[in-house]
């Protein structure tokens, strides 16, 4: 049976506040790592750690009204022949209080599309939660509950990225909705990538039992600090098989900082403005390397941070701030955990020559998300909401920012003519009647200039170009 990657609800324990007075913020020396030496040390308990952090662990659930069509055959016996019915779908997961004023972190897939989000504290009180930010790329959501002047218990967020394979860890969450549960294990691998869970694919792997309901929960170290957010498992049965994945706390912290500051999703992660590819054995031989290493620059966005720093197509990036790179996921993660305005040092090899250091000043993707504009009238785009295409808007929709050079982007297909003709969210409008619009004004002008007959609409979805002739 082929193993499946399952994203699972989980409980998380995050930072007291981003300036927490807990153990991380106190600047503790690196913990001594030592295996048990005798039977007495094997009988030591995790209870003191759990007792301290458990109050910061919460249950998160959301409700969503789903419309579904009744099967026409069965509809004949129950009424409502083919009429859509509504049902309530519920998602269950875990969360962690990261600030005493009620800021909570969970996985985005726990609350995605939820119309009512509720948080249940350890003392069984329930609060409606407001979604401050949903970062679909990292699968992190930041919530806020109103507790007035009350100070909630919090957990410290350890963003030092110094976990080691073999470290003891605990996972705390609400698996299967049975109630708060603690499991223990070790860090079984670091920097796991290519598991296809999130766009920023760089995980801490653990054998601590993680099951459905644990998503959004915390993976904590022996200081009681959160080092990762439990997010998924690799399983053949749908339950824990000892291979779980957690989003590193350093990435979670960047999302929290942006959300609390009132920022936008497009501002969460800095942008290098380059495209890269991993170095295969064949590429390594062609570059005169003794083994595959680094990532190869294949494209540079004009006037982006990389271009301004002098990066060029064909450059081989071997390290970032002295940390070796072996794949794109590592580069993306290292950039994602920096802040906009930071400078990073890239070790670059050019033309099979000596290496040099290139300093890049990080910045968010240019252009902003842009305001949506609803298209009206008798045309094939009626009902769709569009905005100017930019690297920022493309990034926010999970698209390739390098496609953001011409055209407009559909932010919402709506339910009008556009949807009937197959237009979907994220489609790029490349041309209307052979005219390429760069702004909403130019698009509306092209629509008004139509003189009759079939419309010619060109859109792009991923790498696929669609050329349509549409008649009314």
- Cβ contacts of 281 within 8 Å, gap of 6 or more: 292
Decide if 137 is catalytic: no
**Catalytically annotated residue among 215, 240, 329, 387:** 215
Count CB neighbours of 237 within 10 A.
11
**For residues 133 and 253, is the Cβ–Cβ distance under 8 A?**
no
Q: How far apart are CA 101 and CA 117, in angstroms?
A: 18
DSSP letter for each residue of 334-375:
HHHTS-TT-EEEEEEE-TT--EEEEEEE-BPPTT-S---EE-
Decide if 215 is catalytic: yes
**Catalytically annotated residue among 109, 225, 266, 427:** 109
Give which of 14, 224, 184 is closest to 105, Cα–Cα.
14
Terminal-to-terminal C-alpha distance of the chain: 50
Decide if 450 is catalytic: no
Helix (H, G, I), strand (E, B) or coil at 2: coil
Runs of H (alpha helix) within 23-85: 39-42, 47-53, 72-78
**Catalytically annotated residue among 20, 91, 101, 139:** 139
Which residue's structure tokens are 């802040």? 339
Residues in the chain: 472
Which residue's structure tokens are 């249940």? 120
Reading the block at residue 187, the tokens are 């860090």
- Exposed/middle/buried for residue 250 (C-beta within 10 Å: 0-12, 13-18, 19+): buried
Active-site residue set: 109, 139, 215
């Amino acid at each position: 049976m082929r193993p499946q990657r399952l994203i699972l609800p989980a409980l998380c324990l995050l930072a007291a506040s981003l300036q927490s007075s807990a153990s991380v913020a106190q600047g503790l020396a690196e913990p001594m790592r030592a295996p048990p030496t005798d039977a007495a040390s094997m009988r030591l308990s995790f209870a003191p750690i759990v007792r301290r952090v458990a109050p910061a662990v919460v249950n998160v659930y959301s409700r969503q009204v789903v419309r579904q069509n009744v099967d026409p055959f069965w509809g004949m016996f129950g009424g409502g022949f083919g009429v859509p019915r509504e049902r309530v779908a519920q998602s269950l997961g875990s969360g962690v209080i990261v600030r005493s004023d009620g800021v909570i972190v969970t996985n985005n897939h726990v609350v995605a599309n939820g119309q009512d989000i509720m948080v249940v504290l350890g003392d069984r009180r329930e609060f409606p939660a407001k979604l401050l930010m949903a970062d679909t790329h990292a699968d992190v959501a930041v919530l806020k509950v109103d507790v007035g002047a009350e100070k909630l218990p919090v957990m410290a967020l350890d963003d030092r990225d110094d976990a080691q394979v073999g470290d003891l860890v605990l996972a705390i969450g609400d698996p299967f909705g049975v109630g708060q549960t603690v499991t223990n294990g070790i860090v079984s691998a670091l920097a796991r990538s290519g598991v296809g869970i999130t766009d920023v694919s760089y995980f801490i792997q653990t054998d601590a039992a993680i099951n459905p309901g644990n998503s959004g929960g915390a993976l904590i170290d022996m200081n009681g600090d959160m080092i990762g957010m439990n997010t998924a498992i690799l399983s053949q049965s749908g339950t824990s098989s000892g291979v779980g994945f957690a989003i590193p706390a350093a990435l979670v912290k960047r999302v929290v900082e942006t959300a609390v500051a009132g920022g936008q999703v497009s501002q969460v992660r800095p942008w290098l403005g380059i495209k890269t590819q991993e170095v295969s054995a064949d590429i390594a031989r062609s570059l005169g390397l003794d083994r595959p290493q680094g990532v190869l620059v294949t494209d540079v966005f004009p006037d982006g941070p990389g271009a301004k720093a002098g990066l060029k197509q064909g450059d081989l990036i071997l390290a970032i701030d002295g940390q070796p790179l072996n794949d794109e996921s590592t580069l993306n993660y290292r950039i994602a955990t920096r802040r906009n305005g930071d400078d990073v040092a890239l070790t670059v090899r050019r033309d099979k020559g000596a290496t040099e250091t290139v300093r890049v000043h990080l910045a968010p993707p240019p252009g902003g998300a842009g305001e949506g504009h609803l298209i009206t009238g008798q045309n094939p785009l009626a009902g769709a909401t569009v905005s100017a295409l930019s690297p920022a808007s493309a990034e926010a929709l999970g698209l390739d920012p390098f496609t953001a050079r011409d055209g407009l982007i559909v932010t919402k297909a709506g339910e009008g003519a556009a949807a009937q003709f197959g237009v979907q969210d994220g489609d790029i409008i490349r041309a209307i009647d052979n005219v390429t619009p760069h702004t909403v004004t130019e698009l509306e002008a092209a629509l008004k200039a139509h003189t009759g007959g079939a419309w010619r609409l060109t859109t792009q979805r991923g790498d696929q170009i669609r050329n349509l002739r549409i008649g009314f």
